[in-house]
Amino acid sequence: MKREDGRVAAPISAEYIKMIAKESKKAYDTCLILEREKDFIAAIPSMTEPQAGNIEYKPQHVLLHDIVGVFNRFAALRPNQEAIPKKAKLILIYLYEQMQGKDLGELYGSARINEMIHSERFENNITLIRETSFFSPAKEMKDEFILPALLLKSRSTYFQSMASFLTRVAALIAKADNKISNKDSELLKGISEKANSPKILIDKASYKEVPENDSLEIVLAELHELIGMQDIKKNVEDLTNFLKVRKMREEKGLKTTNNSLHAVFMGPPGTGKTTVARMLGRIYKHLGYLEKGHLVETDRAGMVAGYVGQTALKADEIIKSATGGVLFIDEAYSLTSGGLNDFGNEAIEILLKRMEDHRGEMVVVVAGYPDEMEIFIQSNPGLQSRFNRYFEFDHFDVDSLLEIFKLNAKKADFILTEDAEAKLMEILERVHEKRHRGFGNARAMRNLFEKIIERQANRIVSIVPITEETLKKLTEEDIPEILKTVKEMVVFDDEEDKEAE
């Protein structure tokens, strides 16, 4: 066979085809096993587009979606389809056919395959496969590899093997022309990271991984950089020192006290509860108390369903996703607010059982307003026995609120003039004085900042010519009228607070 440049193309060896056959058969057999894994199948709808909810996808569909994703990433580095090596195209075709239960090597043999890859039909099939979606992921997962994410979410034992399979496929495609460019190497690294540390989508919950190259020193430095929160920072530091020493005693074979790591965070909204919970997960990981240290954040909506039997499935999914990390349940007291026939109590019982069954594998942090959290913990003996570590978060003082506002401005490349800062300070002092327990603190500062930069945009939009300084500067004119703003902020937070109740 001749290539376009006139040179004879080397045939693809029988050994190479056998190697592809072995890899594809192993992946196909794994997909057949996954078809019988209930947790895996149950997780698939959670990562699909809503309109695709009635489609019953098989593991093979999901895997083909990821394989095409790998192929297309490398194809994008080539000027056109003709520049994509035949070996790379054969990998795509072979895997596609194998996921239908067909082994091309057994069907045609190496000689016939070498003829087939130079045909027009072969090229047309490549185009068709590349343009087929096979699986419709949720928009948040469009650029992710779905199979590893589903396997990790369902805690399947096949997660590592299939993540490695995708990485090997990527390496084979990259090496198909017997050379790897710098761009190929960068892409290979990115694919490996995505496959082995996938993003997970959980209904009514957010999932935060521990940052790459993280360390205990980095976490503690970030902790000390938090604005205000002196008591909380001291509590976390004391806990860290205690856990360090406990680990040392374990290593020396000395007796240790079995203190629970589960915690109750009590305080108003916007005071850093989620941020500190995320830091605790990272600290526990670096000290060897948690395997992954990630944070799964949810609330009543993420754990309670409206029908008999569904709450158990819903709560179990959230709890499983937090294994190895921290489960953060915001406004946890709402689990007991629905009365005797409410399913929230069922979620609590499931949570308590999983905390017992997976002791040492997961940390639970429950959070909410102080009074309600005390009632919540006292409502169930199981909660009282498992939660004995309390962190009290308080409203930020006026100086801290100003620091938070300035931090928002700095991150967005804005600066306050002295007159603007003085006017802003008066708003903050009045808001702080009139605040109630539902005052949004850092959240309120973010909302106020967004309102102010909108006013600045209206003020400067017609200025010609406009300078960088004009774009960055927030003046007294941009700060809204004091009394009206104070009233709006207090009323808004009060309404939010009532809705939460």
Q: Compute the average pLDDT of residues 63-80.
A: 93
Hunting for tokens 């409206």 — which residue is that? 306
> Looking at residue 497, what is its pLDDT?
46
Architecture category of domain 398-500 in CATH: Orthogonal Bundle (1.10)
Hunting for tokens 């190479």 — which residue is that? 16
At 308, the pLDDT band (50, 70, 90 cuts) reads low
Q: Which of 49-53, 236-240, 384-388, 462-466 reaches the highest mean pLDDT? A: 236-240
Lowest mean pLDDT among 1-15, 404-418, 454-468: 1-15
Q: Compute the average pLDDT of residues 473-490.
A: 94
Residue ranges, CATH 1.10.8.60, the chain: 398-500
> Nearest-CA neighbor of 369 among 397, 337, 330, 338?
330
Whether the CB-CB separation of 496 and 447 falls below 8 Å is answered with: no
**DSSP one-letter string for 115-169:** HHTTSHHHHHHHHHHHH--SS-B-GGGTTS-HHHHHHHHTT-TTHHHHHHHHHHH
CB atoms within 10 A of CB 154: 22
> Looking at residue 206, what is its pLDDT?
72
Beta bridge partners of 202: 205
> Looking at residue 498, what is its pLDDT?
43
Kindly give the interhelix angle for 146-153 and 182-196, rounded to the nearest 10 degrees: 30
Lowest mean pLDDT among 51-65, 68-82, 275-289: 51-65
Q: Compute the average pLDDT of residues 417-427.
A: 97
Residue ranges, CATH 3.40.50.300, the chain: 216-392
Alpha carbon separation from 91 to 104, 177, 258, 372 (Å, rounded): 11, 13, 53, 59
d(C-alpha 410, C-alpha 500), whole Å: 32
The answer, yes or no, to whether residue 499 has pLDDT greater than 70, is no
Q: Compute the average pLDDT of residues 276-293.
A: 95
> Looking at residue 204, what is its pLDDT?
61
> Looking at residue 4, what is its pLDDT?
46
User: At 63, which helix (H) or strand (E)?
Assistant: helix 59-75
Q: Compute the average pLDDT of residues 26-30.
A: 96
Residue 273: CB partners within 8 Å, gap ≥ 6? 265, 267, 328, 330, 367, 393
The answer, yes or no, to whether residue 55 has pLDDT greater than 80, is no
Whether the CB-CB separation of 167 and 67 falls below 8 Å is answered with: no
* Amino acid code (one letter) for 392: E
* Amino acid code (one letter) for 455: R
What's this model's pTM, rounded to 2 decimal places? 0.64
* Side-chain half-sphere exposure of 371, counting CA atoms within 13 A: 3
CATH number of 216-392: 3.40.50.300
User: Which sign, positive or negative, has the C-alpha torsion 284, 289, 295, 298?
Assistant: negative
Q: How large is the C-alpha radius of gyration of the chain?
A: 28
Which pair of structure tokens corresponds to residue 293? 């240290």
Alpha carbon separation from 322 to 143, 153, 208, 389, 391 (Å, rounded): 23, 9, 10, 19, 21
The answer, yes or no, to whether residue 94 has pLDDT greater than 90, is yes
Beta bridge partners of 213: none
Whether the CB-CB separation of 130 and 39 falls below 8 Å is answered with: no
> Looking at residue 260, what is its pLDDT?
84
